């Protein structure tokens, strides 16, 4: 593969599992005996849908590049967590079985096959994108392709911004070999002299992409855009770094390590949890390598040295590649060089456009916000209003993933400064956000916020808030139940629903959940008082099983029976088995599943096959919606949880029934739009081939249609 400038490039984002011996192929079981699609294989099918977006030439070029970055980042996390877990299971034997992974060695074999296939597809997609970049006069220059003006620019940039951010390591002189950071890339360098008068030496430089951009726009000809990668800029300046030692010949190649990212944390949820997480984060940096990726042209002696010093061998997934690694950074490829892309703008829900008080509106009626179509600012406005309202006495809220400069946190701190009692349930174990949440904990407690940390063996994933206000002799309460995180950044790109309500039965249950979270013993009996909100780990699965059973009963009595569900992932064996039973009875089942779908959707013994689609588009489909026909009295829920074991048994989650008829119909309409989509919807069949849904004469791109529906419906 070649860049527009002719430079060879081999994207090493597709690791190959090399340690599992091939077995003789097993005979295919009849579908009736197959119960579930392996979770990890289904996940790879989802990532293939991300790659499809990168391949779609109707998508703007910079968005296609971004999807390649998303694909690569997804795969990195897949290997850090899922492949690492499968390898652990193999080490511990059958006693380590988790969820659906009964045969981890077989699944690793399948992963190997699929990632090789996706690597080939990735290469073809990048080749096509590179050609399109060339057509748009965009070039990526290496250190050997710079003209004099560019060389001067690069030298100045290095001296002004790079030099102080790198620490060259003469690794042969270091007794303890440095631990290579996960997610980082390094230049592994051979230092020598042209006349071979001194023995060559080895050095290592971490590329400082956490503090400097990976892509640097350099002076270009009129009508062109030239870009150099940060590592190539450093390559050009190697003589400035090492000439002091008398070297004048340099060979530099990129290497990368991917490590096991799982944290080993005891069940104790006392203050020691903080120390456990801090230790776990340190240990994660030293986690067992899952991949070692290197430039295939690297000096053999340097490669052998790096392997020996890190204790690596052929069993450690050594992946030879070429020049560029960490393609995830391409998510931040500079957009300024591309023609402007007109994004749909978020808009304020009409009930709040001229409202002087968010709480007054919620007091009168329930309101459903649909992100990112509706502005996330309404949530921030609600918390800001509560922070300064003299009648508000307390705010309680859950937090899982927060924005880097969180306006949510700022509003809560302002509330404390104004004399309110503020309680934040902060989940320290939110994967890859552990360090950020530790910092938020310290800041919140410094300001006087009461911070609750979680529950043994259970993550708090519910998205809840309750605000108490005293007006005269009355106590008024407002709150919300959301499907997504309280994060204003992702609120602009994640598709979610948030119910703002003063409904007494819903608020009562939210208070019960907070009482449970605040109770030192975390007595599950407290949650048994919840009469309106289904809650995990208490009764969420059972609630949905009962609702499906009702549809099965109606179908068997020849009555209309239908289920429409939307979620990120479907892998819970019990609920999938119940869906199979419903399909066999003739229940009309329609599903929108963005990611993992472990359910087969077709079986000749069913009266009605299930239909399932996955929508991958500009926004990340993140909402969870459940609709049951229920004898014509439709039951509609939103929830924070997917149908996965971890959500239903090992997390605190909440679902909310939609009782307002107008909002209920609004959600039904939105789901019908998603089910009718035929532009960005892929069919999830038994083979998960990701074929585009093409039915209908009119092209329906669901995210465009939902925006139009909400805008026209609310502003007509």
The rounded percent of the chain whose pLDDT value lies above 90 is: 66
At 265, the pLDDT band (50, 70, 90 cuts) reads very low
Separation of first and last alpha carbons in the chain:
52
Round to whole Å and give the CA distance between 538 and 92.
30
β-pair type (367-371, 494-501): antiparallel
Which token pair is 617?
A: 């588009």
pTM above 0.75, yes or no: yes
Most confident residue range from 27-36, 247-256, 284-293: 247-256
Active site residue 461: yes
ω into 537 cis (within 30 of 0) = yes
- Beta bridge partners, 501, equal 479
How does residue 336 score in pLDDT terms, banded at 50, 70 and 90? confident
Confidence of residue 561 (pLDDT cuts 50, 70, 90): very high
Q: What is the mean pLDDT of residues 162-185?
A: 89
Q: What pLDDT is attached to residue 102? A: 63
Average pLDDT over residues 206-218: 95
Nearest to 252 by CA among 291, 311, 316, 201: 201
Q: Where are the CATH 3.30.870.10 domain residues in the chain?
A: 355-533, 536-715
Instruction: Single out the catalytic residue among 62, 253, 325, 461.
Output: 461
Please give the Cα distance from 254 to 66 (Å, whole number): 22
Residue found by looking up tokens 């300046």 in the block:
237
Q: Which residues of 546-583 are buried (b: 16+ CB within 10 A; e: fewer)?
A: ebbebbbebbeeeeebbbbbbbbbbbbeebbebbbebb
Q: Which fold has domain 355-533?
A: Endonuclease; Chain A (3.30.870)
| Count of beta carbons in the 10 Å neighbourhood of residue 145 | 16
Closest CA to 463 of 624, 338, 611: 624
Structural element, H or E, at residue 311? none
Chain-centre distance for alpha carbon 291: 21
Q: What is the pLDDT of residue 589?
A: 98
Secondary structure letter of residue 65 according to DSSP: H
The 10 Å CB-count burial string (b at 16+, else e) for 148-163 is eebeebbeebbeebbe
> Residues 435-448: what's their mean pLDDT?
90
Does the pLDDT value for residue 543 go beyond 50? yes
Residue 103 CB neighbour total at 10 angstroms: 17
Over 50: is that where the pLDDT of 21 sits? no
3-class DSSP assignment, residue 490: helix
Beta carbons within 10 angstroms of residue 656's beta carbon:
27
Percent of the chain with pLDDT over 70: 87
Residues 215 and 71: their CA atoms lie apart, in Å, by 19
Tens digit of pLDDT for each residue in 651-706?
999 999 999 999 999 999 999 999 999 999 999 999 999 999 998 889 999 999 99
Span(s) in the chain for CATH 3.30.1840.10: 31-332
Question: DSSP readout, 99-145?
Answer: TT-S-HHHHHHHHHHHHHHHHHHHHHHHHHHHHHHHHTTEEEE-TTS
Q: Which CATH architecture has domain 31-332?
A: 2-Layer Sandwich (3.30)
Cβ contact 568:593 at 8 Å: yes
Please, which residues have CB within 8 angstroms of residue 472's CB and are 6 or more apart in sequence?
Answer: none
- The predicted model gives 568-573 an average pLDDT of 97
Neighbour order of strands in the sheet with 225-229: 138-141, 225-229, 215-218
Can you tell me the mean pLDDT for 317-333? 79
What whole-number distance in Å separates Cα of residue 558 and Cα of residue 50? 41
Q: Name the fold adopted by 536-715.
A: Endonuclease; Chain A (3.30.870)
**Which pLDDT value is given to residue 197?**
78
Beta-bridge partners for 653: 536
Question: Above 50 in pLDDT, residue 58?
Answer: yes
């Amino acid at each position: 593969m070649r860049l527009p400038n002719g430079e060879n490039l081999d994207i090493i984002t597709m690791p190959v599992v090399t340690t599992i011996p091939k077995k003789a192929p097993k005979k295919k079981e009849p579908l009736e005996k197959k119960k579930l699609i392996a979770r990890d294989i289904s996940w790879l099918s989802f990532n293939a849908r991300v790659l499809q977006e990168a391949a779609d030439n109707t998508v703007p070029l910079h968005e296609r590049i971004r999807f390649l970055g998303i694909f690569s980042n997804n795969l990195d996390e897949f290997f850090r967590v899922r492949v690492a877990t499968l390898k652990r299971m193999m080490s511990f034997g059958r006693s380590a079985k988790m969820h659906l992974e009964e045969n981890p060695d077989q699944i690793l074999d399948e992963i190997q096959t699929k990632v090789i296939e996706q690597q080939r597809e990735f290469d073809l997609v990048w080749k096509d994108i590179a050609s399109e970049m060339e057509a748009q006069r965009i070039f990526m220059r290496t250190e050997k392709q710079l003209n004099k003006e560019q060389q001067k620019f690069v030298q100045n940039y290095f001296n002004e911004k790079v030099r102080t951010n790198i620490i060259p390591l003469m690794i042969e002189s270091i007794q303890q070999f440095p631990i290579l950071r996960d997610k980082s890339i390094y230049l592994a360098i051979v230092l020598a002299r042209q006349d071979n008068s001194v023995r060559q030496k080895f050095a290592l430089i971490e590329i400082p992409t956490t503090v400097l951009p990976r892509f640097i726009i350099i002076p270009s000809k009129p009508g062109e855009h030239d870009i150099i990668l940060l590592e190539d800029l450093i390559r050009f300046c190697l003589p400035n770094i090492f000439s002091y030692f008398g070297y004048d010949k340099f060979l530099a190649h990129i290497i990368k390590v991917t490590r096991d990212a799982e944290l080993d944390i005891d069940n104790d949820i006392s203050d020691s949890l903080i120390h456990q997480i801090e230790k776990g984060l340190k240990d994660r940096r030293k986690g067992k390598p899952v991949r070692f990726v290197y430039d295939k042209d690297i000096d053999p002696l340097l490669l052998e040295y790096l392997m020996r010093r890190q204790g690596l061998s052929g069993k450690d997934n050594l992946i030879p590649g070429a020049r560029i690694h960490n393609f995830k950074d391409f998510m931040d490829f500079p957009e300024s060089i591309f023609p402007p892309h007109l994004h749909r703008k978020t808009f304020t829900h009409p009930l709040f456009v001229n409202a002087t008080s968010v709480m007054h509106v919620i007091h009168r009626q329930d309101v459903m916000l649909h992100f990112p179509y509706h502005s996330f600012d309404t949530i921030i406005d609600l918390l800001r209003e509560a922070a300064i309202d003299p009648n508000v006495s307390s705010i309680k809220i859950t937090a899982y993933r927060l924005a880097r400069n969180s306006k949510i946190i700022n509003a809560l701190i302002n509330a404390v400064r104004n004399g309110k009692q503020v309680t934040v349930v902060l989940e320290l174990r939110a994967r890859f956000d552990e360090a950020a949440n530790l910092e938020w904990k310290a800041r919140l407690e410094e300001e006087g916020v009461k911070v609750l940390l979680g529950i043994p063996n259970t993550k708090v994933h519910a998205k809840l808030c309750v605000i108490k206000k005293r007006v005269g002799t009355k106590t008024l309460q407002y709150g919300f139940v959301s499907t997504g995180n309280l994060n204003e950044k992702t609120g602009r790109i994640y598709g979610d629903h948030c119910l703002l309500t003063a409904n007494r039965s819903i608020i009562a249950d939210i208070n019960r959940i907070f009482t449970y979270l605040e109770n030192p013993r975390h007595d599950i009996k407290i949650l048994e008082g919840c009469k309106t909100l289904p809650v995990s780990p208490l009764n969420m699965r059972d609630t949905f099983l009962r609702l499906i059973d009702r549809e099965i009963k109606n179908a068997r009595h020849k009555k209309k029976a239908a289920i429409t569900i939307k979620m990120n992932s479907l892998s819970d064996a019990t609920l999938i088995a119940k869906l199979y039973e419903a399909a066999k009875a003739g229940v009309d089942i329609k599903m929108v599943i963005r990611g993992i779908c472990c359910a087969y959707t077709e079986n000749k013994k069913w009266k009605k096959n299930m239909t399932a689609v996955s929508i991958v588009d500009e926004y990340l489909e993140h909402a969870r919606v459940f609709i049951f026909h229920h004898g014509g009295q439709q039951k509609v829920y939103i929830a924070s949880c997917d149908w996965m074991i971890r959500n239903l048994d090992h997390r605190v989650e909440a679902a909310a029934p939609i009782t307002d008829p107008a909002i209920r119909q609004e959600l039904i309409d939105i789901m019908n739009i998603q089910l009718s989509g035929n532009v960005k919807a892929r069919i999830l069949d038994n083979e998960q081939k990701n074929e585009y849904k093409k039915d209908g004469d009119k092209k329906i791109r669901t995210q465009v249609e939902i925006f139009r529906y909400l805008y026209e419906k609310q502003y007509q």
